[in-house]
Amino acid sequence: MLDDHNDDRRGFLKCMAWAGTGALFAFNGGIGSSIGLDAAIAAPRKMALAPFSFVQVSDSHIGFNKPPNADARATFREAIAKVKALPTRPDFIIHTGDVSQLSRDEEFDDAEQMLKEAGLPVFFVPGEHDMLDPEGGKAFLNRFGKGSQGAGWYSFDHRGVHFVALVNVADLKPGGMGNLGADQLKWLKDDLAGRPSSQPIVVFAHIPLWTVYAEWGWGTDDAAEALKLLARFGSVTVLNGHIHQITQKVEGRIAFHTARSTAFPQPVAGTAPSPGPLKVPAEQLRSMLGITDALFVRGHDRIALIDSTLSA
């Protein structure tokens, strides 16, 4: 059993040849894995087995208009077109936050309108840029957080998979990183209680739930509390945004993955004076933006995540 699991992990690591900028998540019942887009296209038989897939988009920053991207609306529209063109129609979209640049109504409006073009349900979590209205996130919650609790957390089941949306951008503490808070952790404990360990879990939140780079605040202070609650499950996939680039790791039976932004790239941790936008030349921009596609295959042992770029 343990050996099987290790094989899965090796397979998972081996498959981390990223096609570019989006990821396809394939759920095979076990650890999430990612395969290159080429491999996915070359293996339509496997894809055909998939009972469902979903897509992650992140960090659309609608309203951003500075180098390297004078129009974050245009690139978000391209990302939506990319979702519509996927060979397997996803069941829904998750947006892992920073929908807007400054939490302005017109930014939220435009994001909502563009997402409607995909014709799919969309599940949101806020990023810190979505908390900037005078009431600290009410504008976002009123529009995208209906039925959620606290600062916007919730969960739902879809075809046997349990999806948990967490908020780690509310009530941030001076000197700290992302923060879930005691109320949300208590809610999570209750939400997971009584679920069989065999149920696949997908957790999504804006800021990474593991520490990618503390100096830039790329982590969540109390994530360990949440991960402890998830440790007993056989398949946990954690999907985040915030850092505008793909990073991933596997820890125990938890697979972590961050998605690209649809607006602008950020530097690799520690390679620049600050995490500000990476000012790449125009011709390079779309190769650094993209979407992530997730495919769930019942009865198989892993989740496939395919990242694809806007330039691909």
Partner 1 sequence: MTRAFKMLSFQASVLVACTLLLTVISDVVSAAPAPAPAASVSIANFTFKAQVLTVKPGTTVTWTNADDIPHTVTSTSGAFKSKVLDSGDKFSFTFAKAGQFGYYCALHPHMTGTVIVKA
Residues that bind partner 1 (CB under 8 A): 66-67, 101-103, 128-129, 131-132, 134, 172-177, 214-217, 273-277
CB of 149 to partner 1, least distance (A): 22
CB of 144 to partner 1, least distance (A): 19
DSSP annotation string for 79-96: HHHHHHT-SS--SEEEE-
Instruction: Return the number of the residue (206 or 286) whose C-beta is nearest partner 1.
Output: 206
CB of 276 to partner 1, least distance (A): 6
Instruction: Return the number of the residue (206 or 253) whose C-beta is nearest partner 1.
Output: 206
Instruction: Return the number of the residue (145 or 217) whose C-beta is nearest partner 1.
Output: 217
CA dist 228 and 121 (Å) reads 30
CB of 175 to partner 1, least distance (A): 5
Q: Distances in Å between the alpha carbon of 275 and those of 217, 240, 272? A: 10, 17, 7
Q: Which of 248, 247, 276, 246 is nearest to 264 (CA)?
A: 276
Instruction: Return the number of the residue (271 or 274) whose C-beta is nearest partner 1.
Output: 274
DSSP annotation string for 119-177: TS-EEE---GGGG-STTSSHHHHHHH-TT-BTTTBEEEEETTEEEEE---BSSPPTT--
CB of 264 to partner 1, least distance (A): 9
**Main-chain dihedrals φ then ψ at residue 29, nearest 5 degrees:** 95, -15
Q: Which residue type does 270 have?
A: G
Instruction: Return the number of the residue (87 or 176) whose C-beta is nearest partner 1.
Output: 176
